[in-house]
Amino acid sequence: MRPIPTLAWVFAAGIWAAAAPARGGELTAEQQHWLSRAETHAKAGWIYLHIEGQPRERGFQHGYLLAPEIATGLRAEQVDWLHGSGMSWSWLIENTKGFIEPAIDPEDREEMRGIAEGMQAAGVATSYDEIVAYNAYFELAGYWWPLAAKKLTDGEDVVQRPKDGCSSFIATGRMTQDGGIVLGHNSMAPYDIAIQNVVIDIAPAAGHRILMQTQAGWIDSGSDFFITDAGLVGSETTIGSFDHFTEKGTPEFVRMRRATQDAGNIDAWCAIMRQGNNGGYANAWLIGDTKTGEIARLELGLKYVGFERTRDGYFIGSNIAEDLHILRLETHARDEDIRQGPVARRVRWKQLMAQYAGQIDLDVAQRMEADTYDVLTQSTGADGHTLNEHDELVAVPNGSWPPFYPHGSFESKVVDTTLARKMTFLARWGSPDGTAFDAPAFLAAHPQFDWMTGILQSRPSEPWAEFQAGEKH
């Protein structure tokens, strides 16, 4: 177990700085017992965290052991929010808790209260309301804010951040080498908030055990990539050019966590995700059941839903809707324009699926997630159109992001049926092809992004590593 956190963050004159924590006092015997059942250690750029027990207990373990990392995540989201909206972090919390918090189920509510309590015990100031906004950040900043901002701009649209993130596939049957399921995923995000480097092992008192990628302080995956002891594996890719949202619904992070912990099969998982869908963080979900070899793709718009399933084939995700109702009626994407990154990646996925049909295994999955062939230029070299995306290298982009924007693939994960049955997956932190990212050098070369100073993090080249539920340091 790592040492007790000793770092807190204070905000003064618009600048974040480290400060001595205001300790909440000695731990109670109950809290010490809770912590004795948890585990955390570092591995290949990742932070492994095991939590278990009742919701408040799990939350306290999480908040206490990862308090410095959660403080870093909060800081990144606060700076990102202020720059992207012009509004304060406290304004976001006050203007969203009225519709976000009531939709949270009792178990998730208790776990987030526990996270806040654990952070406070570690000397890092926060509140339950802040942890809620932190968990809901993707859907608040990307889906709620563009609509809410119209009230402040006399109905004018505000500049929206593109919703192009993640490359993923799932294959089974004759597509794979052994006939079982293979799932691969890499996450894309602006590098200032690309800090989802936690592999969390959750052993709840009720429901299914979960091993998933997440960010310190989150109760869902967010990235998303998970396996459960029900035999389910899953990932998602965002639906690009989608801007629908309703405050009358259940937050995506709540639905994802409940589905993953409570569902024992694909139908149950998808039913929970559809219940109360609010359009927030709209995704195409790739789900597999290693008990049956069946895979499915669930696309959740707001009004429209796409669903497909098979025991012999594949599904891909590249940020372009496959369901025509969602594509034509809920997005403004053009599915033939390979100048757009999502469309180019979709074409590349189909090429790779044809090339590797019947051969897909973990090694092939790793290579595909690191692929840097651009179907637009018909050349190899990572850029804004490749499955392993690197927008920070692009001077004259044809896609969604401005020149040299620090955005792209910042990790990758793969799993097959054999590993999933052992509650194990493989993951690589940093670019899927091993390219390192030097934040100070980047900011020196591109001063237009100097607002990211202090939150943009370097990522050295890291190896692939294996993670398993229940592992010890």
Nearest to 288, CA basis, from 181, 185, 208:
181
**Cα four-point dihedral sign 315, 316, 322, 326:** positive
pLDDT of 277 higher than 60: yes
Look up the pTM and report it: 0.94
The residue extents of the domains of the chain are: 167-188+201-431
Fold category of 167-188+201-431 in CATH: Penicillin V Acylase; Chain A (3.60.60)
What's the confidence (pLDDT) of residue 23? 45
pLDDT of 16 higher than 80: no
Q: How far apart are the first and last CA of the chain?
A: 7
pLDDT band per the 50, 70, 90 thresholds, residue 439: very high
Q: What is the signed CA dihedral for 161, 407, 115, 234, rounded to 10 degrees?
A: 90
pLDDT band per the 50, 70, 90 thresholds, residue 105: very high
pLDDT tens digits for range 114-167: 999 999 999 999 999 999 999 999 999 999 999 999 999 988 888 888 887 899
Nearest to 67, CA basis, from 83, 52, 82, 47:
47
What's the confidence (pLDDT) of residue 162? 83
pLDDT tens digits for range 182-231: 999 999 999 999 999 999 999 999 999 999 999 999 999 998 999 999 99
Q: Give 98's contacts (C-beta < 8 A, 6+ positions apart).
A: none
Nearest to 406, CA basis, from 434, 441, 367:
441
Nearest to 203, CA basis, from 422, 467, 419, 470:
470
Taking a C-beta distance cutoff of 8 angstroms, is the pair 234, 225 a contact? yes
Residue with tokens 């020196």: 444
Preceding peptide of 224 cis, ω within 30°: yes
What's the confidence (pLDDT) of residue 283? 97
Say which residue, 258 or 9, is predicted with more confidence: 258
Residue with tokens 């054999």: 418
Q: Angle CA(293)–CA(365)–CA(257) in degrees, nearest 5?
A: 60
pLDDT tens digits for range 225-253: 999 999 999 999 999 999 899 999 999 99
Region at 452 (left for phi over 0; alpha for psi -120 to 50; beta for the rest): alpha
Taking a C-beta distance cutoff of 8 angstroms, is the pair 219, 113 a contact? no
* Radius of gyration of the chain, Cα coordinates, nearest whole angstrom: 21
Cross-strand partners of 379: 374
H/E/C letters for each residue in the chain? Answer: CCCCCCCEEEEECCEEEEECCCCCCCCCHHHHHHHHCCEEEEECCEEEEEEEECHHHHHHHHHHHCHHHHHHHHHHHHHHHHHHHCCCHHHHHHHHHHHHHHHCCHHHHHHHHHHHHHHHHCCCCCCHHHHHHHHCHHHHHHHHHHHHHHHCCCCCCCCCCCCCCCEEEEEEHHHECCCCCEEEEEEEEEHHHCCCCEEEEEEECCCCCEEEEECCCCCCCCCCEEEECCCEEEEEEECCCECCCCCCCECHHHHHHHHHHHCCCHHHHHHHHHCCECCCCCEEEEEEECCCCEEEEEEECCCCEEEEEECCEEEEECCCCCCHHHHHHHECCCCCCCCCHHHHHHHHHHHHHHHCCCCECHHHHHHHHCCCEECCCCEECCCCCCCCCEHHHCCCCCCCCCCCCCEEEEEEEEEEHHHHHCCEEEEEECCCCCCCECHHHHHHHCHHHHHHCCCCCCECCCCEEEEECCCCC
